[in-house]
Protein backbone atom coordinates (compact mmCIF):
# COMPACT_ATOMS: atom_id res chain seq x y z
CA UNK A 1 0.00 0.00 0.00
CA UNK A 2 1.19 3.47 -0.87
CA UNK A 3 1.17 6.06 1.91
CA UNK A 4 2.02 9.71 1.32
CA UNK A 5 4.25 11.72 3.62
CA UNK A 6 1.20 13.58 4.92
CA UNK A 7 -0.66 10.34 5.74
CA UNK A 8 2.37 8.95 7.58
CA UNK A 9 2.53 12.14 9.65
CA UNK A 10 -1.12 11.81 10.64
CA UNK A 11 -0.47 8.30 11.97
CA UNK A 12 2.55 9.25 14.06
CA UNK A 13 1.91 9.95 17.72
CA UNK A 14 2.85 13.45 18.85
CA UNK A 15 5.31 12.13 21.43
CA UNK A 16 7.37 9.85 19.18
CA UNK A 17 10.64 9.09 20.93
CA UNK A 18 10.33 11.83 23.55
CA UNK A 19 11.85 15.29 23.30
CA UNK A 20 14.69 14.28 20.97
CA UNK A 21 12.23 13.44 18.19
CA UNK A 22 10.32 16.70 18.57
CA UNK A 23 12.83 18.63 16.44
CA UNK A 24 12.88 16.28 13.44
CA UNK A 25 9.15 15.65 13.69
CA UNK A 26 8.35 19.36 13.71
CA UNK A 27 10.72 19.83 10.77
CA UNK A 28 8.87 17.06 8.95
CA UNK A 29 5.50 18.73 9.65
CA UNK A 30 6.91 22.04 8.41
CA UNK A 31 8.16 20.46 5.16
CA UNK A 32 4.85 18.67 4.71
CA UNK A 33 2.92 21.94 4.95
CA UNK A 34 5.36 23.68 2.57
CA UNK A 35 4.96 20.84 0.06
CA UNK A 36 1.24 21.58 -0.23
CA UNK A 37 1.83 25.04 -1.73
CA UNK A 38 5.29 25.04 -3.32
CA UNK A 39 7.99 22.80 -4.73
CA UNK A 40 10.52 21.53 -2.22
CA UNK A 41 14.04 22.81 -2.91
CA UNK A 42 17.15 20.66 -3.30
CA UNK A 43 18.23 21.10 0.35
CA UNK A 44 14.82 20.02 1.66
CA UNK A 45 14.68 17.01 -0.68
CA UNK A 46 18.24 16.03 0.29
CA UNK A 47 17.31 16.28 3.98
CA UNK A 48 14.22 14.10 3.58
CA UNK A 49 15.97 11.43 1.51
CA UNK A 50 19.04 11.38 3.77
CA UNK A 51 17.21 11.17 7.10
CA UNK A 52 14.00 9.37 6.09
CA UNK A 53 14.56 6.44 8.47
CA UNK A 54 15.45 8.72 11.43
CA UNK A 55 12.28 10.69 10.70
CA UNK A 56 10.19 7.51 10.75
CA UNK A 57 9.29 7.64 7.04
CA UNK A 58 8.79 4.28 5.38
CA UNK A 59 9.31 4.09 1.62
CA UNK A 60 6.12 3.13 -0.24
CA UNK A 61 6.01 -0.36 -1.71
CA UNK A 62 3.34 0.30 -4.36
CA UNK A 63 2.29 3.33 -6.44
CA UNK A 64 -0.87 5.20 -5.35
CA UNK A 65 -3.30 3.15 -7.48
CA UNK A 66 -6.33 3.16 -5.17
CA UNK A 67 -6.67 6.94 -5.20
CA UNK A 68 -4.94 9.30 -7.62
CA UNK A 69 -2.44 11.64 -5.95
CA UNK A 70 -3.52 15.21 -5.25
CA UNK A 71 -1.57 18.45 -5.43
CA UNK A 72 0.75 18.69 -2.44
CA UNK A 73 1.17 14.92 -1.97
CA UNK A 74 4.72 13.64 -1.38
CA UNK A 75 5.78 9.99 -1.62
CA UNK A 76 9.12 8.29 -0.96
CA UNK A 77 9.86 5.10 -2.91
CA UNK A 78 12.70 2.62 -2.98
CA UNK A 79 13.27 1.98 -6.69
CA UNK A 80 14.48 -1.57 -5.99
CA UNK A 81 11.24 -2.50 -4.19
CA UNK A 82 8.80 -0.49 -6.33
CA UNK A 83 9.98 -0.46 -9.94
CA UNK A 84 6.76 1.08 -11.30
CA UNK A 85 6.42 4.03 -8.92
CA UNK A 86 5.54 6.29 -11.89
CA UNK A 87 2.36 4.24 -12.54
CA UNK A 88 0.13 6.53 -10.49
CA UNK A 89 -3.04 6.34 -12.61
CA UNK A 90 -2.69 9.87 -14.05
CA UNK A 91 -2.51 10.53 -17.80
CA UNK A 92 0.74 12.47 -18.28
CA UNK A 93 1.79 14.40 -21.38
CA UNK A 94 3.54 12.24 -23.96
CA UNK A 95 5.89 12.97 -26.84
CA UNK A 96 4.64 13.05 -30.42
CA UNK A 97 4.89 9.24 -30.72
CA UNK A 98 2.15 8.97 -28.07
CA UNK A 99 4.04 6.37 -26.01
CA UNK A 100 7.06 8.05 -24.45
CA UNK A 101 6.44 10.27 -21.47
CA UNK A 102 7.32 13.92 -22.08
CA UNK A 103 9.59 14.41 -19.10
CA UNK A 104 12.25 17.11 -18.64
CA UNK A 105 15.41 16.61 -16.60
CA UNK A 106 17.47 18.97 -14.49
CA UNK A 107 20.30 18.56 -11.98
CA UNK A 108 20.32 20.81 -8.91
CA UNK A 109 23.28 21.20 -6.57
CA UNK A 110 22.65 20.98 -2.84
CA UNK A 111 24.24 24.11 -1.28
CA UNK A 112 27.43 23.54 0.74
CA UNK A 113 27.63 19.90 -0.37
CA UNK A 114 28.97 17.68 -3.14
CA UNK A 115 25.51 16.12 -3.42
CA UNK A 116 23.30 16.81 -6.41
CA UNK A 117 19.60 16.13 -6.84
CA UNK A 118 18.30 15.00 -10.22
CA UNK A 119 14.80 16.26 -11.00
CA UNK A 120 12.45 14.78 -13.59
CA UNK A 121 9.27 16.76 -14.15
CA UNK A 122 6.13 16.53 -16.25
CA UNK A 123 2.52 17.81 -16.45
CA UNK A 124 -0.77 15.94 -16.66
CA UNK A 125 -2.53 15.91 -20.04
CA UNK A 126 -5.28 18.20 -18.75
CA UNK A 127 -2.66 20.53 -17.23
CA UNK A 128 -4.12 20.56 -13.71
CA UNK A 129 -1.36 18.59 -11.97
CA UNK A 130 2.44 18.60 -12.11
CA UNK A 131 4.84 15.93 -10.88
CA UNK A 132 8.51 16.11 -9.94
CA UNK A 133 10.65 13.10 -9.16
CA UNK A 134 13.79 13.77 -7.13
CA UNK A 135 16.79 11.43 -6.79
CA UNK A 136 20.01 12.04 -4.82
CA UNK A 137 23.41 11.55 -6.36
CA UNK A 138 26.65 11.65 -4.38
CA UNK A 139 30.31 10.98 -5.07
CA UNK A 140 32.19 8.08 -3.53
CA UNK A 141 35.85 8.29 -2.44
CA UNK A 142 37.11 7.58 -5.96
CA UNK A 143 35.05 10.44 -7.40
CA UNK A 144 32.50 8.20 -9.10
CA UNK A 145 28.90 9.33 -8.90
CA UNK A 146 26.58 7.07 -6.93
CA UNK A 147 22.80 7.28 -7.18
CA UNK A 148 20.54 6.47 -4.26
CA UNK A 149 17.78 3.90 -4.64
CA UNK A 150 15.33 6.25 -2.91
CA UNK A 151 13.25 8.73 -4.91
CA UNK A 152 10.90 11.43 -3.67
CA UNK A 153 7.82 12.07 -5.81
CA UNK A 154 6.08 15.43 -5.30
CA UNK A 155 2.76 16.41 -6.89
CA UNK A 156 1.58 20.02 -7.08
CA UNK A 157 -1.55 21.60 -8.54
CA UNK A 158 -1.22 23.96 -11.50
CA UNK A 159 -1.99 27.13 -9.55
CA UNK A 160 0.50 26.32 -6.78
CA UNK A 161 3.14 25.25 -9.32
CA UNK A 162 2.79 28.60 -11.12
CA UNK A 163 3.04 30.53 -7.85
CA UNK A 164 6.10 28.52 -6.83
CA UNK A 165 7.79 29.17 -10.19
CA UNK A 166 6.94 32.88 -10.01
CA UNK A 167 8.43 33.13 -6.49
CA UNK A 168 11.61 31.45 -7.65
CA UNK A 169 11.87 33.67 -10.73
CA UNK A 170 11.38 36.86 -8.73
CA UNK A 171 14.00 35.82 -6.14
CA UNK A 172 16.48 35.04 -8.94
CA UNK A 173 15.75 38.44 -10.50
CA UNK A 174 16.39 40.14 -7.14
CA UNK A 175 19.76 38.40 -6.83
CA UNK A 176 20.73 39.22 -10.43
CA UNK A 177 19.66 42.87 -10.12
CA UNK A 178 21.53 43.19 -6.81
CA UNK A 179 24.67 41.85 -8.47
CA UNK A 180 24.32 44.09 -11.52
CA UNK A 181 23.75 47.22 -9.40
CA UNK A 182 27.18 46.88 -7.80
CA UNK A 183 29.93 49.04 -9.13
CA UNK A 184 32.14 47.12 -11.53
CA UNK A 185 35.55 46.13 -10.32
CA UNK A 186 38.58 47.84 -11.71
CA UNK A 187 40.59 45.58 -14.00
CA UNK A 188 43.77 44.30 -12.46
CA UNK A 189 46.99 45.52 -13.91
CA UNK A 190 49.98 43.30 -13.82
Exposure of 46 in the CB half-sphere (CA atoms within 13 A): 17
- What domain range includes position 58? 5-178
Q: Could you report the per-residue pLDDT of 159-172, keeping only the tens digit for each?
A: 887 777 666 554 44
Residue 74 lies in a domain: yes
Residue 187 lies in a domain: no
- CA-CA distances (angstroms) from residue 105 to 16, 40, 42, 129, 189? 37, 16, 14, 18, 43
Q: How many domains does the chain have?
A: 1
In terms of Cα–Cα distance, which of 66, 24, 64, 80 is closest to 153? 64
pLDDT band, very low/low/confident/very high, at 119 (cuts 50, 70, 90): very high
Asked if residue 136 lies in contact with residue 115, where contact means CB atoms within 8 angstroms, the answer is yes
Kindly state the DSSP code that residue 127 receives in the 8-state scheme.
Answer: S
User: Looking at the predicted structure, is the pLDDT value of residue 181 above 70?
Assistant: no
Residue 183 lies in a domain: no
| pTM attached to this predicted model | 0.75
Q: What is the pLDDT of residue 16?
A: 38
Q: What is the pLDDT of residue 174?
A: 47
Q: Could you report the per-residue pLDDT of 25-72, keeping only the tens digit for each?
A: 777 888 888 999 999 999 999 989 988 888 878 898 888 877 889 999
Residue 188 lies in a domain: no
H, E, C per residue of 56-116: CCCCECCCCCCCCCCCCCEEEEECCCCCCCCCCCCCECECCCCCCECCEEEEEECCCCCCE
Residue 119 lies in a domain: yes
Residue 186 lies in a domain: no
Amino acid sequence: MSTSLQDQLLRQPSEVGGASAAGPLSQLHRLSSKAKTRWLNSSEVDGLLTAHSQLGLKPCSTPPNEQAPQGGDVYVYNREQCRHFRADGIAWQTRSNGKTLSEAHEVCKVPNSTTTVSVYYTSSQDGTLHRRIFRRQTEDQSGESVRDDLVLVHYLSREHAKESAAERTSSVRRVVSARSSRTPREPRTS
